[in-house]
Chains A and B, each alone.
Chain A
Amino acid sequence: MKKVFCLLLTLCMVLALAACGGGNGGGDSAPADSGSSAPADTGSDAQEPADASGELITVGVINNDPNESGYRTANDAAMRATFTEENGYKATFYNNNDAAQQIATAQQMVQDEVDFLLLSPASTTGWDTVLQDAQAAGTQVILFDRMLEADESMYVAAVVSDMPAEGKTAVDWLAAQGLDEYNIIHIQGHMGSDAQLGRTGALDEKVAAEGNWNYVTQQTADWDEATARTITQSVIDSGKPFNVIYAENNGMARGAVAALDAAGITHGKDGDVIVMGFDSDKWAFEAVLEGSWNYMGLCNPLQADTVDGIIKDLAAGNAPAQKIIYTPEQGFDCDTLTQADVDTYGT
């Protein structure tokens, strides 16, 4: 009797698991079959008005884990919404935060002879072999969201966020606040990622250059809210004075703010501590709007349309005018942000 019950339970769980696989859109399972045979046997040409040739463009999309942050969720959703059969694509998606896994899958996609490889690399290095293989196989590489370290000739286009510029905009804004002394809690993202390097770089430079800019602490929270809270808490416990929190994404800024709230330290507009975050989450915009935070550096997650345009141009034989296209970005602070901005840019 118990055995039967147990078996039932197990079956139920396995079914639940199977259902989940489907619900996730088969993220990393079941890669599409090889590109060469795909257009011939899809047989869905009828429902495909856009492309005159009637052939689907095969693309392999390598992205980070959509659950990593609100930014990534929006980014991944936009990619999946754009690269559909209705738009003339046969797309394979792969999401992982581990660069090694990304590289292995990219290699597989190149071997499957996809027409385009769209990359948002988890780390900036280690991609040389893949890029060379892709070039040899005639696969065109387009970077989105994040850069990697390689010669420009290795990819046809890059639609990226200008991370160093984002960092610089934020640091310039902070400098314009005219504090007598900047005692900064710097909470970094995943070490080695493009976003972390860009946003850290500008601040590091400024702190090294200015006498009245100091780090109270500089730690990585690996994009994790709970870790950011712990780091901030430990600074509060140590009793060291600080007046700026520079968190490299919104989730970590929220974690830091939770620690401030628990200790009764005022923050935001007219508060004792300046709170700065990055990315595009709607709730973070709202926090800035209501003056609980001071600044948010917008990092636009919606590159899918631009990438789509480039691919269509390339398919028509036109090379993109610029190799590196930066998505329009800016910083918002609690004095100038409007509800209209929140509605336009919030994700």
Chain B
Amino acid sequence: MMTPVKNPETKLKQPGESLFKRLVRQQLFIPFAALALLVLFNLIADPSFFAVSIKENSLGNPVLSGNIISVLDNASELVILAIGMTLVTASSGGQDISVGATMAIAGSVILRMVCGGQVTADTLQMPLLLAVLIGIVVTALFGAFNGALVAYFKIQPMVATLIMFTAGRSIAAWINNNQLPIMNDISFKYAGTFLPGIPVPTPVFITAFVILLFWLALKFTTLGLYTQSVGINANSSRLNGLDPKLIKLLTYVILGVCVAVAGFIRVSRSGSINYSRIAENIEMDAILAVALGGNALSGGKFNIYGSILGAYVIQFLTTTLYKYEVPSTALPAYKAVVVILLVVLSAPVVREKLSSMKKAPVKAAKEVS
């Protein structure tokens, strides 16, 4: 009945399509619909979910508190990872499953730097910014390692990043001689908690800053265009003068930088690290965020805002489940059910069906006969 849609944007402008159909075909439809559903559910079940109040934290600073703030705060790491993961997915048609492990490395490096090699330190042994920069360089190098395996050695991304997935946490432990360092300086925790006098959690600002950076980069540089064209067809991009390998490598390095920022936020929440538990399974959530955002996991066209929204949806879901005290053992099962629903709904086949359902029944009947 219809030829498969290659380019949704051009299709959108065709006249005579119902609003609903146009909506359904929007890439951001699924994450928005999921978010709306969750919001609606919470509104009906218990509107107090959305209550936000100002409290005073133990340092005497005013801070905002409430489920919505928790969602925005706790989703930070995931959002930042999802952005990097979207680029990697778009360019290489595969995912980096080592982000959780490399987050442990980033956290370990940063803690080692600020603690100056001691197990517990009460003051910063190194300017914080410098320590974070070193963390960024280290994980960017690990990103380059992953990227080189994928781009130059043509190894499947999942297999290539399996190396760091397996080794990363041991490397993180080795960086600190298997010690669990603790940083007690309060200024180290500003990035993961609150800046004095500012009631909004700092991770929210960091995330907003990262999103802004990527918005600028995608608007004013060719990063987005090149990444997409390499993902759609590496050969023809090469014939058009791009270097697909370099661009793939670059996306992995960018993800490495994102990982360092996320790792920094995570360790500065508590000033400590637990190598085998920190950011465990976060890679799966990051990939899920990309998928929820309506991005094809096989690469090509991407929408970074879809992934960001997807990440917030995941955190919203987690917070909702905690709020309704879903038994701890059943939590993954509930999450799985919701995920299955969302993923099935976002499948192109289903969305095609959805949009044609709204069409005049006469036409549908005609098609059957």
Write out, one digit per residue, whether chain B residues 30-55 have a CB within 8 A of any chain A CB (1) or not (0).
00000000000000000010010001
B48 pairs with A239, CB closer than 8 A: yes
Chain B residues with CB below 8 A from A225, complex form? 270, 272, 274, 277
Q: Is the CB of B170 within 8 A of A264?
A: no
- In this assembly, does A35 line the interface, its C-beta being within 8 Å of a C-beta of chain B? no
Least CB distance, B38 to chain A, in whole angstroms: 15
The verdict on A230 contacting chain B, using a C-beta distance below 8 Å, is yes
Q: Closest residue of chain A to B73, judged by CB?
A: A233
Contact B66 A237 (CB under 8 A): yes
Contact B170 A24 (CB under 8 A): yes
Distance from B269 Cβ to chain A, minimum over Cβ atoms (Å): 7
Candidate in A3, A20, A218, A222 with the most chain B CB atoms within 10 angstroms: A20
When the two chains form their complex, are residues B58 and A68 in contact, meaning their CB atoms are under 8 A apart?
no
How many Å from the CB of B315 to the closest CB on chain A? 9
Chain B positions 290-325 with a Cβ under 8 Å from a chain A Cβ: 318-319, 322-323, 325
Report, nearest first, the 5 A-B pairs whose CB atoms are least far apart. Answer: A67-B275, A220-B328, A234-B322, A13-B145, A261-B58
Question: In the complex, A223 Cα to B328 Cα: how many Å?
Answer: 13
Does A219 sit within 8 A of B, measured CB to CB? yes
Evaluate whether A23 and B174 lie within 8 angstroms (CB atoms) in the complex, with A9-B145, A67-B274, A255-B270 already known. yes
15 A-B pairs (CB sep. < 8 Å): A6-B249, A9-B148, A65-B276, A67-B275, A67-B276, A73-B180, A224-B274, A224-B280, A225-B270, A230-B319, A234-B67, A237-B66, A237-B67, A237-B323, A266-B58
Residues 212-266 (chain A) with a chain B CB within 8 angstroms: 217-220, 222-226, 229-231, 233-234, 236-239, 251, 254-255, 258, 260-266
Assembled-state Cα–Cα distance A20/B168 (Å): 10
Tell me, rounded to whole Å, the shortest Cβ–Cβ distance linking A5 to chain B.
10
CB neighbours of B56 from chain A (8 A): 264
Contact residues, A1-33 vs B (CB, 8 A): 2-3, 6-7, 9-10, 13, 16-17, 20, 23-24, 27
Chain A residue with the shortest CB-CB distance to B108: A67
B3 contacts chain A at the CB level, 8 A cutoff: no
- Is B182 positioned at the interface, with any CB of A under 8 Å from its CB? yes
Any A CB within 8 A of the CB of B152: yes
Complex-state Cα separation, A265 to B194, whole angstroms: 16
Per-residue CB contact flags for chain B residues 143-171 toward chain A (1 = under 8 Å, else 0) read 01100110011000000000100010111
**A299-341 Cβ-contact flags toward B at 8 Å (1 or 0):** 0000000000000000000000000000000000000000000
- How large, as a class, is the contact surface on chain B? 35 or more
Q: Is A77 engaged at the interface, CB distance under 8 Å to the other chain?
A: yes
Asked if B134 is an interface residue, CB under 8 A from chain A, the answer is no
Residues of A185-212 whose CB lies within 8 A of B: 188, 191
Partner of B74, one of A3, A66, A223, A230: A230
Asked, given contacts A10-B145, A254-B270, whether A24 binds B322 with beta carbons under 8 Å apart, the answer is no
Asked whether any CB of chain A lies closer than 8 Å to the CB of B266, the reply is yes
How would residues 72 to 111 of chain A score, 1 for a CB under 8 Å from any chain B CB and 0 otherwise?
Answer: 0100010000000000000000000100000000000000
For B276, list chain A residues within 8 Å (CB): 65, 67-68, 97
- How far is the CB of B72 from the nearest CB of chain A, in Å? 12
Contacts of B163 in A (CB 8 A): 17
Q: Which of B149, B275, B279, B331 contacts A10 (CB 8 A)?
A: B149
Cα distance A23–B170 in the bound complex, in angstroms:
10
With A225-B274, A226-B278 in contact, do A67 and B169 touch (Cβ < 8 Å)? yes
From A188, A231, A263, A265, name the one whose CB has the most chain B CB atoms within 10 angstroms: A263
Q: Tell me how far the C-beta of B319 lies from the nearest C-beta in chain A, rounded to whole angstroms.
A: 6
Q: Cβ of B18 < 8 Å from any Cβ of A?
A: no
Q: Contact at B171–A17, with CB atoms within 8 Å?
A: yes
Q: Provide the residues of chain B in CB contact with A218, threshold 8 Å.
A: 327-328
Which A residue's beta carbon lies closest to that of B163? A17
How many A-B pairs with Cβ below 8 Å?
A: 145
Q: By the criterion CB–CB under 8 Å, are A230 and B270 in contact? A: no
- B65 interface residue (CB < 8 Å to A): yes
Q: How far is the CB of A157 from chain B (nearest CB, A)?
A: 28
Binding site for A on B (CB under 8 A): 48, 51, 55-59, 63, 65-67, 70, 74, 120, 141-142, 144-145, 148-149, 152-153, 163, 167, 169-174, 178-180, 182, 193-194, 245-246, 249, 266, 269-270, 272, 274-280, 318-319, 322-323, 325, 327-329, 331
A66 surroundings in chain B (CB, below 8 A): 173, 178
In the complex, how many angstroms separate the beta carbon of B172 from the nearest chain A beta carbon?
8
CA distance in complex: A237, B51 (Å): 8
Shortest CB-to-CB span from A265 to chain B, Å, is: 8
Q: Pick the contact of B70 from A16, A234, A261 — CB < 8 Å?
A: A234
A277 within 8 A of B: no
Which residue of chain B is the closest to A237 with respect to CB atoms? Answer: B67
Chain A contacts for B167, CB-based, 8 A: 17, 20
Q: Chain B's nearest CB lies how many Å from the CB of A144? A: 19
Residues on B with beta carbons closer than 8 Å to the beta carbon of A258: 193, 269-270
Closest residue of chain A to B67 (Cβ to Cβ) is: A237
- Further contacts, 19 of them, CB under 8 A, given A219-B331, A230-B318: A2-B245, A2-B246, A13-B142, A17-B163, A20-B167, A24-B173, A67-B276, A77-B178, A219-B322, A219-B328, A224-B278, A226-B277, A226-B279, A230-B322, A258-B269, A261-B57, A263-B65, A265-B58, A283-B120
Query: Who on chain B is nearest to A14 by CB?
Result: B145
CA of A13 to CA of B169 in the docked complex: distance in angstroms?
15
A68 and B152 form a contact (CB under 8 A): no
Q: Which of A68, A254, A264 has the most CB of B within 10 A?
A: A264
Judge whether A70 is part of the interface by a CB distance below 8 angstroms. yes
Instruction: Select from chain B the residue with minimum beta-carbon distance to A259.
Output: B70
From residue B231, how far is it (CB to closest CB) to chain A in Å? Answer: 20
Instruction: Establish whether residues B173 and A226, one from each chain, have CB atoms under 8 Å apart when the complex forms.
Output: no
C-alpha gap A231/B321 in the complex (Å)? 10
Chain B residues in 8 Å Cβ range of A230: 70, 74, 318-319, 322
* Interface check A69, CB cutoff 8 A: yes
A313 to B323, CA, bound (A): 55
A265 CA / B63 CA spacing, docked (Å): 12
Question: Is A222 in contact with B277, judged by CB distance below 8 angstroms?
Answer: yes
Residues from chain A with Cβ under 8 Å of B331 in the complex: 219
Q: How far is the CA of A121 from the CA of B298 in the complex (A)?
A: 40
Contact A264 B174 (CB under 8 A): no
User: Is there an interface contact between A191 and B328, defined as CB atoms closer than 8 Å?
Assistant: yes
> Which A-chain residue is minimally distant from B249 (CB atoms)?
A6
A residues 165-197 in Cβ contact with B at 8 Å: 188, 191
In whole Å, how far is B155's beta carbon from the nearest beta carbon of chain A? 11
